[in-house]
Chain A
């Protein structure tokens, strides 16, 4: 590991790139820069003169980086770690995580492998956070729908809250559906009867 390696993170997601930067800094890399603005990307990268560039696979600007491969323009030729077929497991891990890296300074691959590994784990951590956030949002939405359906049932059938919930749950089990789906049907039906 070489803490003086200059690493540039190209990512339009500020949260994710902050997570990666933090990871790299914790691992001892001191020269980490984030680029979130894609305009004039190549000029920004040339100005920073990095050794390693990390970019997410959902970023259309990956094609911009390809221009660095054109020999006529610059001396330093980058290597894409992603397409080095000698390490299939590493490729699969990068694709699954959605990250790719380019080594610019003619460095030995092994010296920067831990950077990619670190980025892969941080990318995965970020998607886990994203998933958890999405699940929390869905749970909150579901809760609102179920509460409304309970209210409708309590009024229409003169039930207690517990009884209304038990009815929703029993119906969901019988129909092999989620309680939120049944609750949504109750709301839809009640709106049609209005």
Chain B
């Protein structure tokens, strides 16, 4: 079959599109004989729909959307494959100065500890209810998003029921900061660069990097239609190989300035390169007063085998969809969800990665609370999280 090397690939202007953007703009896709046109999009709905109906050959996509699309949740069912993981982690939870003060006043122990902060949140929520005030509102990017699940996982561990005690609202990332400033939301969970933008403007304070909540969380994937992958097996391998090269390039700290400059371009992410540098270095200003927090896990693009799709991550995301009643628990659906992540294609294109470095979580997730995750016993795992009375 003749495979047409002219590819249209959609992306949302976020730092975790780095491997895709660098693969194209550094010419790694050209080296693989591909002629890629990057299409910047304004909403995940657009990315998903244009991928589904074939206007895009591939896309930078929320990992849970790839699974939801494959299971037919909320929309028509279009089987999607994820042969490359564009990033692990990379999000942060930012709260308004008022909410930060309320949490700081209620916390027992260090607020930087996510269990302490989640319990403090439960106290703030209870106190607001006692006073008859409106529930707190949390912005997140999409119903099927890691942001949604990360917020829920964290607050539920402290005793907050995310469906009853607070309001979770979808907000497009570019509107997050404004909504926080206008007090339409009290907090949000979003990817880079928006948390830093809120801090720089003095309207928010980063409470947690999501890597403090989950050590490894599949954030965005390179997504293709299963059908397209079947029709274009060679293009797929070349595309994944170019991404592998890009991920390696991005993770060399000597290249960070060049990567930041590429990503900062107006037709790519279109923000200050310095803000992107913070993300790449995992060194973020967390408070308007200038306090800085550093993490070597803030956003993992290629290191610690981050780029290889991990079926355990797919199973974990599916478990969250079940936990929050977006779908039902069944072995068939679980198997379909897991099959979206394709480490075999990655291995074929990029090569089998070395062993996982020391310090990575044994269960592949590394949650700050609760039992280790096992894809073999999702039901048992979810039972431990059952909220009394739900």
Task: Please list the residues of chain A having a beta carbon within 8 angstroms of any beta carbon in chain B.
Answer: 38-40, 42, 57-67, 69-72, 80, 82-85, 88, 91, 95, 100
Q: Is the CB of B169 within 8 A of A42?
A: yes
Interfacial chain B residues near A40, Cβ < 8 Å: 184
Q: How far is the CB of B57 from chain A (nearest CB, A)?
A: 15
Contact B325 A63 (CB under 8 A): no
Is B370 interfacial (CB-CB < 8 Å)?
Answer: no
Closest to B12 in A: A60
- Closest chain B residue to A38, Cβ basis: B175
A62 touches B45 (CB 8 A): yes
Q: Using CB atoms, name the residue of chain B closest to A42.
A: B169
Residues of B within 8 A of A61 (CB): 43, 172, 175
Roughly how many angstroms separate A83 CA and B142 CA in the complex, as a whole number?
A: 17
Answer whether residue B387 sits at the interface, using C-beta atoms and an 8 A cutoff.
Answer: no
CA distance A42 to B170 in the complex (A): 9
In the assembled complex, the CB of A134 is this many whole angstroms from the nearest CB of chain B, namely 19
Chain A residues, CB < 8 A from B50:
95
Please state if B53 and A83 are interface contacts (CB–CB under 8 Å). yes
B76 touches A39 (CB 8 A): no
B45 and A65 within 8 A (CB): yes
Q: Footprint of A on B, CB under 8 Å?
A: 42-46, 49-50, 52-53, 55, 74-76, 141-143, 163, 169-175, 179, 182, 184, 325-326
The answer to whether A60 touches B170, judged by C-beta atoms less than 8 angstroms apart, is no
A67-B170, A83-B76 as given contacts; A72 in contact with B49, CB under 8 Å:
no
Contact B52 A83 (CB under 8 A): yes
Query: CB distance B74 to A60 under 8 Å?
Result: no
Q: Does the CB pair A58–B42 fall under 8 Å?
A: yes
Chain A hits for B45, CB < 8 A: 62-63, 65-66, 100
Please determine whether A64 and B325 come into contact, CB atoms closer than 8 angstroms.
no
Q: Given A39-B184, A58-B42, A64-B171, verify A69-B53 contact (CB < 8 Å).
A: no
Q: B43 — which chain A residues lie within 8 A by C-beta? A: 59-63
**A66 in contact with B143 given A38-B175, A80-B75, A83-B76 (CB within 8 Å):** yes
Inter-chain contacts of A60 with B (CB < 8 A): 42-43, 172-175
Do B141 and A63 touch across chains, with their CB atoms under 8 A apart?
yes
Task: Find the residue from B50, B52, B172 having the highest chain A CB count within 10 A.
Answer: B172
- Provided the pairs A38-B175, A39-B179, A64-B172 are in contact, do residues A69 and B74 lie with their beta carbons within 8 angstroms? yes
- B42 / chain A contacts, CB cutoff of 8 Å: 57-60, 62
Whether the Cβ atoms of A72 and B163 lie closer than 8 Å is yes
Q: Is the CB of A64 within 8 A of B174?
A: no
B71 CB to nearest chain A CB (Å): 13
